[in-house]
Amino acid sequence: MPSQIPPALKRRIPKVGDLAPLMQFRKPELGSAARLRRASTIWDLRDQAKRRTPTAPFDYTDGAAEAEITLRRARGAFLDLEFRPGILRNVETVDSSVSVLGQQSSQPFGIAPTGFTRMMQSEGEYAGSQAAEAAGIPYTLSTMGTASIEDVAAAAPNGRNWFQLYLWTDRDRSMELIDRAAKAGNDTLMVTVDTAVAGSRLRDVRNGLTIPPALTAKTVLDASYRPAWWFNFLTHEPLAFASLSRYSGTVADLINSMFDPTLTYEDLDWLRDVWKGNLVVKGIQTVDDAKKAVDHGVDGLVLSNHGGRQLDRAPIPLHLVPDVAAALKGKTTIMLDTGIMSGGDIVAALALGADFTLIGRAYLYGLMAGGRAGVDRTIEILSKETARTMQLLGVNRVEDLNPDHVRLL
Ligand SMILES: Cc1cc2nc3c(=O)[nH]c(=O)nc-3n(C[C@H](O)[C@H](O)[C@H](O)COP(=O)(O)O)c2cc1C
């Protein structure tokens, strides 16, 4: 006997009344707030950033050193892992705040120091520090920042501001900055040590990047379809540096003038003597150096290869975490940066043993996509992804994350 077609599967002429509930034409949302809301991931913000920023500043941010192998591997390391969730835990509420260097941070990440930030987008350091202040996370101003220590402190008076130092053997020059950072209320000094000389950032060479950006036929053409960037750039205060007086020249020359190839652990001892707050060393790349830095009295380490912008084929910070944690967990604050593009990346680093993480490009993409509101969006995306990943792992507090939650593939 032929099988019967159930009535629900029989074809019929559609009735107009059936269509009404399906028709949900919304007024298109315009404006930068709507555009930023449409970005669901940091990669989406990067796409917006690329469309809105002239090639030279975008590439300065997005690029890395030499063949950019370090950066690709660092991001790849976060992809080449598997989470191992626990089930049937009550994760209705989740708290991703942590205590870092003696104070609470609402999120397990803060903003890494970045130079030339007002070149990426005119609001630069002000956008970063104010967004961090509003979110309750630390913000780090770079020695090569394009706003002064005092102006950033005034812009985000209730924020937790840290200062990143490029140390010179010229102690008077270093001491002046250290004094200013202390007077402006910075509780943490982060000394970067992976910059004996400047890495070779080939995109900048190819783009002929200079500070300030030069108006050549090529850049004018490039600018013609990014008018907002140029309008902002030309109608705000010219770039000034946190620590240098006005400078003009190529980025590579400026960077080289900031780096001192003669530094040794003795200089770190001097710094430990003169700086009374938290001292953090950024750019640790081996377990031996991690131990040595702690022996020299630092309060924290940043496992970092400078976002792949210095030595190419450098060690990948995520891979260093388990060994550094085995040697030093509880004895110092272990932080990590390089390659973080999602909350899942942050959770993986914490589970493997990091106490805190820093984001560089992730916040700069937000900045270039939409100034202060774009940095807010970066923080919002990463916060939500962090909380959701923790809940799906069956964890509602950061201290309950452990290496069993991650398998490196
Ligand atoms: C555009 C740019 C500028 C940077 N400038 C500095 C700097 O002035 N001082 C410093 O210690 N690190 C600097 N860094 C490195 C960051 O602090 C951080 O280590 C790196 O961005 C982390 O990698 P991520 O961008 O993948 O998050 C810079 C990074 C970028 C992308």
| Residue spans of beta strands (DSSP E) within 156-212 | 160-165, 188-192, 210-211
With the C-alpha atoms ordered 309, 361, 47, 250, is the resulting torsion angle positive or negative?
negative
**DSSP class per residue in 27-55:** PPP-SHHHHHHH--SHHHHHHHHHHHS-H
Does any ligand 1 atom lie closer than 6 A to the CB of residue 317?
no
Structure tokens of 217? Answer: 């036929």
Does any domain span residue 389?
Answer: yes
Cis peptide before 113 (omega within 30 of 0): no
Domain for residue 364, yes or no?
Answer: yes
Check whether 401 has a pLDDT greater than 70.
yes
> Crossing angle of helices 124-135/361-393, nearest 10°?
20
Cα 292 to Cα 89, 146, 247, 316, 324, distances in angstroms: 40, 33, 36, 19, 12
Tell me, using a 6 A CB cutoff, whether residue 359 lines ligand 1: yes
The yes-or-no verdict on residue 116 having pLDDT over 60 is yes
Which structure tokens are listed for 130?
Answer: 């104010």
Whether 226 is covered by a domain: the verdict is: yes
- Is residue 135 assigned to a domain? yes
Please provide the DSSP assignment of 75-102 as one string.
Answer: HHHHHSEEE----S---SS-B--EEETT
Range of the domain at 325: 88-408
Pocket flag, ligand 1, residue 338 (CB < 6 Å)? yes
> Of the ranges 4-13, 212-221, 276-285, which one carries the lowest mean pLDDT score?
212-221
pLDDT at 246 over 70: no
Does 28 reside within a domain?
no
Q: Ligand 1, from 70, 144, 254, 306: best to mutate by most atoms within 8 Å of Cβ?
A: 306
Rounded Cα–Cα distance for residues 384 and 173 (Å): 42
pLDDT at 316: 98
Among 161, 159, 207, 212, which residue's Cα sits nearest to residue 182? Answer: 161
Mean pLDDT of the 358-369 span? 98
As a whole-number percent, the residues of the chain with pLDDT over 90 amount to 76
Left, alpha or beta for 208 (phi > 0: left; psi -120 to 50: alpha)?
Answer: left
Query: How many angstroms does the Cα of residue 88 sit away from the middle of ligand 1?
Result: 40
Going from the Cα of 306 to the center of ligand 1, the distance in angstroms, rounded, reads 5
Query: Looking at the domain assignment, is residue 35 inside a domain?
Result: no
Q: What's the CATH number where 332 sits?
A: 3.20.20.70
pLDDT, tens digit (0-9, with 9 covering 90-100), for 150-167: 999 999 999 999 999 998
Has residue 50 been placed in a domain? Answer: no
What secondary structure letter does DSSP report for 66?
T
DSSP, residue by residue, 216-271: -HHHHHHHHT-HHHHHHHHHSPPP--SSS----EEHHHHHHHH--TT--HHHHHHH
pLDDT at 31 over 90: no
Question: Residue 26: inside a domain, yes or no?
Answer: no
pLDDT, one tens digit per residue, over 76-92 is 999 999 999 999 999 99
Structure tokens at 191: 């000394």
State whether the beta carbon of 61 lies less than 6 angstroms from ligand 1: yes
Q: Could you confirm whether 306 is annotated as catalytic?
A: yes
Atom 6 in ligand 1: residue holding the nearest Cα = 114
- Tell me, in angstroms, the distance from the centre of ligand 1 to residue 70's CA: 13
Q: Is 75 in the pocket of ligand 1 (CB under 6 A)?
A: no
Q: What is the mean pLDDT of the chain?
A: 92
- Could you tell me if the CB of 239 is within 6 A of ligand 1? no
Q: Which residues contact 75 (CB under 8 A, 6 or more apart)?
A: 339, 341
How many domains does the chain contain in total?
1
Confidence (pLDDT) at 87: 94
Using DSSP's 3-state secondary structure scheme, residue 372 falls into helix
Which one from 236, 306, 319, 405 is the annotated catalytic residue? 306
Q: What residue's CA is closest to ligand 1, atom 8?
A: 115
